[in-house]
Amino acid sequence: MKRIEVIKRLLKEKLELKGGNLTEQRVAVFDYLSQVENHPTAEEVFLAVKRKMPKISLATVYKNLEALVECGLISKLAHGDGAARYDIRTDQHYHTHCLKCGKILDMDIEDDLLAGLSIPEDFVATGYRLELLGHCSNCK
Ligand code: ZN
Ligand code: MN
């Protein structure tokens, strides 16, 4: 089965569970996200998808990204500065963030960092966000 067919089947299944439907635009947005590792903004996704679908608008791309987030198919990184970024990964993982060029890349952590923190007794921690700030290989 071709890669795009696999993506379509997966999207259709997941979207239908949440009452959404499969559209060519959603497929294109998801397909693009699954090929890049830099966590693009809605605008960057728009510029890339527009090459294949010249009539698509930024607002449509944005809506499709949000629908995919709602269905749990992608995740949204909104805790950095500036525009929200979108991530094909939905599992718990972390990021490095280059302070010069803004590039965000995945980083995995083996241990549960919560175990090493002195969390206030009256606070119930359910997770954490972690962004390692610094300079990427191009910027150092
Ligand atoms: Zn950089
Ligand atoms: Mn990521």
Domain boundaries, the chain: 3-87, 94-134
pLDDT for 79: 67
The bound ligand whose nearest atom lies closest to the alpha carbon of 107 is 2
CA distances from 21 to 7, 17, 29, 49, 72 (A): 14, 9, 14, 19, 14
Q: How confident is the model at residue 115 (pLDDT cuts 50, 70, 90)?
A: confident
Is 3-87 in CATH node 1.10.10.10? yes
Q: How many CB atoms lie within 10 A of CB 82?
A: 7
The per-residue pLDDT of the chain, averaged, comes to 90
- Taking the C-alpha atoms of residue 100 and residue 68, their distance in angstroms, rounded to an integer, is 30
Q: 99: closest CA among 136, 67, 69?
A: 136
Query: Which of the listed ranges 46-60, 88-102, 114-128 does the model predict with the highest average pLDDT?
Result: 46-60
- Tell me the CA–centroid distance for residue 130 and ligand 2, in Å: 11
pLDDT tens digits, one per residue of 54-83? 999 999 999 999 999 998 999 999 866 678
Ligand closest to CA 140: 1
